[in-house]
Homo-oligomer: A and B are copies of this chain.
Amino acid sequence: MKLLAIYGSSRKNGNTEALTKIVLQNLDKNSYNEIFLMDYQIKPIIDQRHTSTGFQRINDDYDNLAKELLNHDAILFATPLYWYGMSGQLKIFIDRFSQSIRSQEYDFKEEMKGKKIYLVIVGGESAPYTALPLVQQFQLICQFLELDFRGYIIGKGVKPLEVLEDEESILQAKQLGKKIKTDLFK
């Protein structure tokens, strides 16, 4: 089993990435892959569920990323808490799942089913409370796609790399890393 870590951050080397690296540091380098959404071009979805032609092929990087999703058995979503939700970058990516669901190339719902999901959120001091609607949103997404939501952590850090000074965040990240390691070898 292999993990795909998907970063929804809008910049490199931020708190979310730093905390996720701690989650990953215990894993074998070849047991996971990483994708930084900011490195790709992904257009917002245009709802064409009800147009006669259905969803049109869109000329951007989404299709390749969707295939990456399907090639992994476990997915870690990492996002800063922006305005009490996931980053717009990540939301745009997830919105496109609606297109994948109707794709002829693969059976998205069938292939996603049962994949293990992990969530890393980093926000400010109150994030352990104010990020809860976002965790609930992920739970609903996992329920809909019959994903196996295995765990989430909510780190605290606003200033550059501040999360690395938050003992609780670090411990949670290490613990999540252990869990993923165990999951991957089951």
Q: Which residues of A contact B (CB under 8 A)?
A: 9-11, 14, 38, 44-48, 50, 80, 82-89, 91-92, 94-95, 97-98, 128-130, 132-137, 139-141, 144, 149, 151-152, 159-160, 168, 171, 175, 179
> How many angstroms from the CA of A85 to the CA of B9 in the assembled complex?
18
B83 near A97 with CB under 8 A, answer yes
| A129-B135, A134-B133, A151-B128 as given contacts; A47 in contact with B14, CB under 8 Å | yes
Q: Give every chain B residue within 8 A of A144 (Cβ-Cβ).
A: 84
Which of A88, A135, A136, A171 has the most chain B CB atoms inside 10 A of its CB? A88
Q: How many copies does the complex hold?
A: 4
A93 CB, nearest partner CB in chain B, Å: 8
CB neighbours of A80 from chain B (8 A):
47
Is the beta-carbon distance between A46 and B10 smaller than 8 angstroms? yes
Quote the shortest CB–CB distance from A160 to chain B (angstroms): 5
**What's the dominant secondary structure at chain A's contact region?**
helix
User: Are A47's CB and B11's CB within 8 A?
Assistant: yes
- The complex places the Cα of A130 from the Cα of B152 at a distance, in Å, of 13
Given A85-B86, A171-B175, does the pair A10, B45 have CB atoms closer than 8 Å? yes
Smallest beta-carbon distance A106→chain B, Å:
19
